Chain A
Amino acid sequence: MQLRIVSTVLGMLLSFSLLAELSPEPIPNVEILPKDYPDSWIFAHDANFASLLTGQLVILDVAADTKEYKGSLDASQFGTFIQSSTREELYVGETFYSRGTRGDRTDVVTIYDKSSLNRIGEVVLPGEKRAQIVVNKYAMQLIDNDEYLLVLNFTPAISVTVIDIAKREVLNEVPIGGCNMIYPSGKRGFSSLCGDGTIMSISLDKKGQVIDRTRSEPFFNADDDPLFDKPMYLENIAYFPSFKGDIQPIDMTNDPDILPKWSMISEEDAKENWRPSGWQIISASDEHLYVLMQKNGNWGSHKSGGEEVWVFDTSQQKRIKRIALKNPGFSIEVTGGKKPLLAVTGTDMTIWVYDLDGELQRNIVVGAPSAMPIMLNAKR
């Protein structure tokens, strides 16, 4: 039957005039991407809350006014995503049920080739415990020159699955009770923030076994002024904003070294109750932190989004610029390279692109009307 249709089409082709101005075009014909993406490309992670089974990552060129949409990857059921910086690979942590929304559960890390976007491997995760959490970069991370992939579990017992990504092999599961998320630290390890205001740090050997486990003294108060759980790394320092507007830098070179915190809020700003707010609220370019800020913030407004992006110099610990957004922002990301751009997911769930002087460049719609691209990943 398949053959019959093909031969019908062929028959039609043969009866066409040979004087066609437009030549017949090949079937099939599928695009491929460059192995090394330009700096202006980002992965917009559509959490797709209205249909969690069909979350996706959309590859966008935020510097482009035409052909800005490059391709997509599926990311099912609270998917997680990270790019390898050493291999031409992309990783998606995802969950499937044999009957869509019910039936047997399978958790996997799907491995894609960066250029073809074809699936080239899959690691099945044991235990049906992959954390189901609204898109968060620190629910899946690469460590040790991207040799090991760490995946967060939540049942609600919290642990981290360690994968040798070259061998596509699960090595170990490390319980981190009382603490959560994966912040790369040390030579081959990670740290997690704990509910009691401390940070726990785990070091692993080459087989993924725990060789050291440390815990800091309390250094923040999760009741009074919690740290946001999505920091920005500059070199080995993770910058955690706090709800009330402090920056808590932690040096992750070895065991976490809690550096002195500093405030983003001047006395004048405090009068207007400026606070950081949104989903992915912090990004960076060179030595500068970009933070999404909200006026008239209050307790509980930390996920509302903000109307300005403030730029801070990390060495002077001082604000050097304010960017007023045309539309309120919910998440931000700054791209790398020579001409960095500020990509902002608006509260309207479309992408607004600015240059670093704050000039609006363009607006990009990611997908269906219900798309929620709330996590933007610059090229790593």
Chain B
Amino acid sequence: MKWLDNLAEKSTRKLARSSGRRSFLAKLSAGIVGGSTIPLLPVARASGGGNSYPGVGSQSTGNLEDPGDPTSCDYWRYCAIDGFICACCGGSANSCPPGTEMSPMTWIGTCRNPADGKNYIISYNDCCGRTSCGRCMCNRNEGDVPVYRPQQNNDTNWCLGTKSNVYNCSTGVVLGIALE
């Protein structure tokens, strides 16, 4: 958390962060990270700086081409995620926890991979059939558009077309590179 704050404060594009906002982060287990932190941190993320959620072990993809900590809200794939990060809940960045069901359809975001500087299409499939995981609440909204454009909106419960509509957590699955 500290490193993230420091970097954010050094940034010329720093977010408005009142003490109240920080306290909200703490309250919701470090919930909302502003989108503008993303372009700042390729190096820190590549070296694995840990997440900002107390009591959640950090992880690594083990892949230099996919840098960062999948339990961290600032992991590059999560640029338009909204919900509990599945990697903190028994799944991973692209898989659901055991016993849940992955929604077949969902909203789509475009996130920049700091390793190759390319924009990837990310599919934020929800995992369904268990009550809210409650760990690693994360909301980022790059490219998010209101609900009248459902395929670009992260406010919707995408546990649709699944046996259960009950929402557990969210993944960020790489679909491929976006055309520039």
Contact = CB atoms under 8 A, between A and B. Distances in A.
A67 B98 CA distance: 13
Contacts of B100: 30
B176 A67 contact: no
A117 interface: yes
Contacts of B98: 30-33, 70-71, 115-117
B134 A17 contact: no
A9 B57 contact: no
B161 A2 contact: yes
B57 A16 contact: no
Nearest to A69: B90
B58 A66 contact: yes
Contacts, number: 167
A351 B56 CA distance: 11
Interface stretch (B34-42, B110-118, B140-148): B110-118
Interface stretch (B3-11, B14-22, B120-128): B120-128
B28 interface: yes
Contacts of A369: 27-29, 134
A12 interface: yes
A29 B94 contact: yes
Interface in B124-139: 125, 127, 130-135
A245 to B, nearest CB: 32
Interface string A39-69: 0000000000000001010010000111111
B96 interface: yes
Interface stretch (A20-28, A211-219, A223-231): A20-28
Contact of A8 (B28, B56, B127, B151): B151
A16 to B, nearest CB: 4
B173 interface: yes
A5 B151 contact: yes
Contacts of B135: 69, 365-368
Given A6-B105, A67-B57, A69-B89, A74 B131 contact: yes
B28 A20 contact: no
A363 interface: yes
B90 A20 contact: no
Nearest to A46: B134
A73 interface: yes
A209 interface: no
Interface in B71-115: 88-92, 94-102, 104-105, 108, 113, 115
Interface in A244-275: none
Nearest to A48: B131
A364 B133 CA distance: 14
Given A20-B177, A29-B95, A12 B89 contact: no
B99 A118 contact: yes
Place the interface of chain B in its size category.
Answer: 35 or more
Interface residues of A, number: 56
Interface string B157-180: 000110000001001011111110
A22 B120 CA distance: 9
27 contacts: A2-B161, A9-B108, A12-B108, A13-B176, A16-B178, A20-B177, A21-B115, A21-B177, A24-B174, A25-B175, A26-B94, A29-B94, A29-B173, A31-B92, A31-B96, A64-B57, A67-B57, A69-B88, A69-B90, A70-B90, A70-B98, A72-B133, A73-B99, A112-B99, A362-B57, A364-B55, A365-B53
Given A2-B105, A29-B95, A64-B57, A368 B132 contact: yes
B95 A72 contact: no
Nearest to A371: B134
Contacts of B57: 64-68, 362, 364
A12 B175 contact: yes
A241 B58 CA distance: 39
Nearest to B171: A29
A365 B95 contact: no
> Which A-B residue pairs are the 6 nearest by beta carbons?
A365-B55, A117-B99, A368-B134, A28-B102, A367-B134, A16-B176
Given A64-B57, A117-B98, A6 B134 contact: no
Task: Count chain B CB atoms within 10 A of each CB in A9, A15, A30, A54 and give the residue with the most.
Answer: A30
Nearest to B103: A28
A25 B99 contact: no
Given A6-B104, A71-B90, A363-B55, A24 B175 contact: yes
Interface string A328-357: 000000000000000000000011000000
Contact of A67 (B59, B94, B173, B179): B59
Contacts of A54: 131-132
B91 to A, nearest CB: 6
